[in-house]
Structure 1
Amino acid sequence: MGKDVTTKNDEKKLLKKKYTEGLFERYIATKDVEIRNEIFKEFMYIPEILSKKYINKGVDYEDIFQVASLGLIYAIERYDPSKGYEFSSFATPTILGEIKKYFRDKEWIIKVPRRIQELSRKINMSKDHLQHKLMRPPTIRDIAEYLEVSEEEVIEAMEGSYAYSPTSLDVRISNSKDENDLSLFEVLGMEDQNISEVEDKDLIKNIFAEMDEYDRKIIIDRYYNNKSQSDIASELGVSQMTISRLEKKIIKKLRDRISY
């Protein structure tokens, strides 16, 4: 009796395996969305199970399930039955990867490009390594050479990392002279915009008069006409990286001129 039940279960598993293999073969051959949807229904239990593991992690279950479902679709698209792997074994790490990627992205309060996020993580890891190797804090050049990227890219990623955990204006600041703590917003100074605006305009007018036409165009297009570096580069017939470097140099000149 027990053997008969076991045999029937094995037969069902074998039939189901052949059925799903047939679905994948048909989908690879036709790329028919209806077939993909059928495969999705067959394996929808995987994202359901994996999503439940992330309940109470600060994100709604429905949001996680949508991400996991997207991971399942990616797995279906990439799966090759001829490799001999079970689809569930192939799909699980793919889905988990999408979920973890989703949580990493949510940690960045201000959205920045993924390349900057990834480079920022590499920079943070390289700092400890270089600190021990060089016996001193690594410079931007040290980090750039170690990661085989430009110094401009390192600076860009380091600036972008401030989006990871910006300080809230509602944070309470301890006041030893008073029992009542103040928020950061309450202790920030407020400028008279009318006075500073007149001074700034006069200063900027004088500085612009001293700049050459090329530099002036870059600054005006970037900060007054809201053009991207790519747009300006296209107009001037140079690379976007060239405009980025020039912009940084011009800003440095402006800062030096203002602080003079």
Structure 2
Amino acid sequence: MKKNSKSHNDSSQELTEMTSKELFIKYQDGKDIHIRNELVRRYLYIVEILSKKYINKGIEYEDIYQVASLGLIYAIERFDPSKGFEFSSFATPTIIGEIKKHFRDKGWSIRVPRRIQELSKKINTCKNELHQKLQRTPTISDIAEYLNCSEEQIMEAMEGSQVYTPKSLDLTYDNDGEDKEMKFMDLIGEVDKNFDNIENKDFLDKVINKLNEVEKKVLRDRFFNNRTQMHVAEELQVSQMTVSRMEKKIIEKFQKEYKKTTV
């Protein structure tokens, strides 16, 4: 056991003493995982530098770092030292590509069509260009003309970009000089439950008016007064089975009318 441990340590020491070019050549020959690990260790600084450029962009740094590390491994796998390129120059666009791909696929809090995502990026780029060219904030019309799009497409993309980073409900705003700050959650409207109650009441009244007097009595006694089928049957002088069938028929009428309202 000690002999194997010593052999492993000697091998690790040998790898650390080799140049990066030698390691890449050796890795191409046998794809030794230990060599790849040594290369990853040497070039992790690139991952750290590039990952920090995307801090506070809507995705956790740890996630970006993991994606960038994966990009580094892809670069190591594809790098050919015989072509004379510096590995850092080869790896950088590969890592950035993986990070941007991750942002494109995961960065939007609500999934929007790819065309909107792509147009949103073009808008952000052209805003800066137009601002320098026009010496003022570009209008939607300016952007639409510059990108050869309609104003409706530009507005759709700009609205869609608002879901890229979700806003915290605890975000605070100044309340027109008042001492108390206002939270974002206070500005969000709520659905008035009374609207649903009114709609439900109108629906019930409409269907009930279509029932005959016996059906209305069964409905009222069974579902509003909580009387048993047996009590209703005795009062109507019919069998309990008849009351059960009437209930089923009433429910079917409600279902039929409900389907009409949802079509």
TM-score bucket (shorter structure)? 0.3 to 0.5
* Higher radius of gyration, 1 or 2: 2
For normalisation by structure 2, the TM-score amounts to 0.47
